Structure 1
Amino acid sequence: MAKVLYITANPKAENESFSLKLGKGFLDKYKELNPQDEIIHLDLYQMDLPYLDADVFSGWGKLAKGEGLTEDEQRKVARINELTDQFVEADKYVFVTPMWNFLFPPRMKTYIDTICIAGKTFKYTEQGPVGLLEGKKAIHLHASGGVYSHGPAQDLNFADRYIHAVMNFIGITDVTTVVAEGMAAQPDQAEAILKDAIAKAQDAAVQFAK
């Protein structure tokens, strides 16, 4: 039995979101294939997600020196530890995002900051940083109103490149992407575009379930 983190970053309701519909299509197929797996949904807009702020950095500094932490420092550092440990304990990761201004919603970046922790997901060596989560797999399900996989705007999709870069950094090299794109550019084709993307996501779920 595998533990899967299903990570969504969208404040909209599912019926108003192309990315969440894409994610549901993928997840329904995955559950059908692997009903025994434990799937944990992290809705980043509905959970306690601390920023890397002054309290966190001062808390980490005090821990290194064996000093006591303030209540806020202790709470935020403990929550980051909890999120990092949860990420490390999982086997597979599903990131579901819309494109906002060429990236993804800020809550996703905040979450990624909580799981890129030296000594837990990567380590420093004389040869440079080394990822510690080898053997795991991830998929990025991404929706955008315009077309960014090819054409004049292809260099502007920083969202997918960032997800791949971070996963590779922490040792996860098996990373797949499924994109639903162009729904705003071609509104009359939006449902057809989404339907095609969901079919591709379901095909990807077959491989992801193995």
Structure 2
Amino acid sequence: MILLNIQSSPRGAKSASIAVTDAFLEAYRASHPDATIDTLNVWEENLPEFDAEAIGAKYKGINKEPMDPAEAAVWEKIQRLAARFQQADRIVLGVPLWNFAYPYKLKQLIDLASQRNMLFTFDGKAYGPLLTTPRAFVVYARGGTYAENTPTAASLFDHQKAYIEFWLKFVGVQEVRSLVVEGTSWPAKEKREENLACGQEEARKMAAEF
């Protein structure tokens, strides 16, 4: 069993999303000691830029045309990233809320790995998924709170959860289980710690049936 653990916060031990996903993984490994955790931290992975060479390689790859050395090098890196999704039996993803959405480095990973004939198909008319991953677990960490009866109602300010879950299902994840942990930055210290602890405990419970 291979779990692809995607970390998208640069804060390390100070990160709420990493703290909650780590609690989930610790509980999962306790009952699945043979599981392999493949951790992909988007800040430490040295992701290639999705620049002219990458875009050129993309279209040449689709059309099966020869690439120049720069294009071939970046295309090989893109294939290696996609392979980590292809090989994973489960996906675990921690997503902090940045400007009411998600970190740009996570979007960079998505733009690199989500290639036609790697993670999805397109026949000119319709898209289709290429992964057959049974499920993913996603932690959405938010510094504030987004209840509907507040000035920052989730229906207006949440541009985080909908896209991530759309993308996971688009590439072939069959079931997405999510945990939203709010109030990790703005309340008083005691309340922040309580919110984080509650999130970790809920993540441990969710690991039991993952």
Aligned twin of 1:200: 202
1:124 alignment partner in structure 2: 122
The residue that corresponds to 2:171 in the other structure is 170
Structure 2 CA distance for partners of 1:137 and 1:72, relative to 1, 3 Å: same
Question: How far does residue 143 in structure 1 lie from its aligned partner after superposition?
Answer: 0.9
1:10 aligns with 2:9: yes
Q: Structure 1 unaligned segments of length 5 or more: list them.
A: none
User: Which residue pairs with 1:154 in the alignment?
Assistant: 154
Give the secondary structure class of the aligned counterpart of 2:23: helix
Alpha-carbon distance, 1:172 to partner: 1.3
1:172-203 deviations in whole A, cap 9, x for unaligned? 13101112101334224111111111111111
Q: The residue matched to 1:46 in structure 2 has which SS?
A: coil
1:85 to 70, 83, 86: 83
User: How far off its partner does 1:65 sit?
Assistant: 5.7
**Equivalent residue for 1:42?**
40
Distance in 2 between residues matched to 1:3 and 1:135, nearest whole Å: 11
1:191 to 190, 193, 200: 193
TM superposition score normalised by structure 2: 0.90
Q: Secondary structure at the match of 2:172?
A: coil
Deviation at 1:126, TM superposition (A): 6.6
- The DSSP-based 3-state class of the residue aligned with 2:128 is strand
Aligned counterparts of 1:8 and 1:135: Cα–Cα separation in 2: 18
Q: TM-score, normalised by structure 1?
A: 0.90
Tell me the residue number matched to 2:131. 133
Aligned residues: 205
Counterparts of 1:190 and 1:88, CA distance in 2: 37
C-alpha separation between the residues in 2 aligned to 1:123 and 1:62?
16
Distance 2:113 2:73 in 1: 16
Deviation at 1:67, TM superposition (A): 2.9
Cα gap change, 1:8/1:37 in structure 2, threshold over 3 Å: closer, same or farther?
A: same
Q: Give the drift of 1:148.
A: 2.8
| Matched residue type, 2:11 | K
Q: What secondary structure sits across from 1:56 in the alignment? A: helix
Query: Structure 2 vs 1, CA of residues 205 and 60 (structure 1 numbering), >3 Å: closer, same or farther?
Result: same
Choose which of 98, 107, 110 in structure 2 pairs with 1:109.
107
What stretches of structure 2 of length at least 5 have no aligned partner? Answer: none
Amino acid at match of 2:41: D
Q: Match for 2:50 among 52, 57, 74?
A: 52
Of 134-143 and 191-200, the range deviating more from structure 2: 134-143
